[in-house]
Amino acid sequence: MLCLCNAIISGSNMQIMHLKKIFYCVQTDQVNKSSPQKPGSRNIFKKLICCLRAQDAQLPTSPTHDALLAPEDNGTIAKVPGECLLPAVTSQDQGKICVVIDLDETLVHSSFKPISNADFIVPVEIEGTTHQVYVLKRPYVDEFLQRMGELFECVLFTASLAKYADPVTDLLDQCGVFRTRLFRESCVFYQGCYVKDLSRLGRELHKTLILDNSPASYIFHPENAVGFTVLLLFSFFVKACLLDSTSCYLTI
């Protein structure tokens, strides 16, 4: 991560440390955990949102070019980089770092189980039945996104289905921080995981970061990732940057 920061940011070591404060926020125990889902409900939820994985699940191995062309165990073939996923960089984002941000368990926590203090309740049709999805925003996520939108070209990239993630993002990002939204169909299916292949974005890799709670999502480009063993604690970002803007000055 430090090598990546040195490559994409011109400035003092102190400025690099401030950037790391934004991304490498202190770890905390997962908040607002729902009680275990019923097996049937959990299976439906997994079809919708790709954030439910066994704790001891083995991560996919780093791929080679030949591996990307080989048939997968389920009979599908991993996609080969082709047309860029993102449109051309706009004038307002020229020269900015592109930051790819995950949705579930990074910005929000969602559940089929009713949550009394849910920030959003989103109806989603699954297999002919409408389900209510209860969504909790990460603390200070609004302030986080506002500041990120000022500094970077922000792209939402989730392995969840668009019919769930799109309405959630409509409610979450009312200021239009995300320039583009990418969903499951934009992922590469590799060794049973939906991987976010940064090489397909159409941006310079040395000026691209991904913020994601799942290491499997960035297995192709781990050097570009800001990983989280648990979750972001956005209150730390607010304290370190938003409440003291002079301490978070970046030269990009």
* Cα dist from 90 to 32, 144, 168, 173, whole Å: 38, 22, 25, 19
Q: Which of 174, 173, 196, 193 is nearest to 183 (CA)?
A: 196
Per the document, the length of the chain is 252
Burial class of residue 30 in the structure, from the number of CB atoms within 10 Å of its CB (0-12 exposed, 13-18 middle, 19+ buried)? exposed
Q: Which of 66, 73, 93, 104 is catalytic?
A: 104
102 is known as an active-site residue: yes
Which residues, in sequence order, are bridge partners of residue 100? 155, 210
Question: What SS3 class is residue 242?
Answer: helix
Q: What's the token pair of residue 16? A: 């690099």
Ranges assigned E (strand) in 74-183: 98-101, 108-111, 120-126, 129-137, 153-157, 178-182
Q: What are phi and psi of 180, to 5 degrees?
A: -145, 150
| 73, 93, 102, 119: the active-site residue | 102
Q: How many CB atoms lie within 10 A of CB 118?
A: 18
Tokens for 131?
């389900």
Residue 142 annotated to the active site: no
Catalytic residue numbers, as ranges: 102, 104
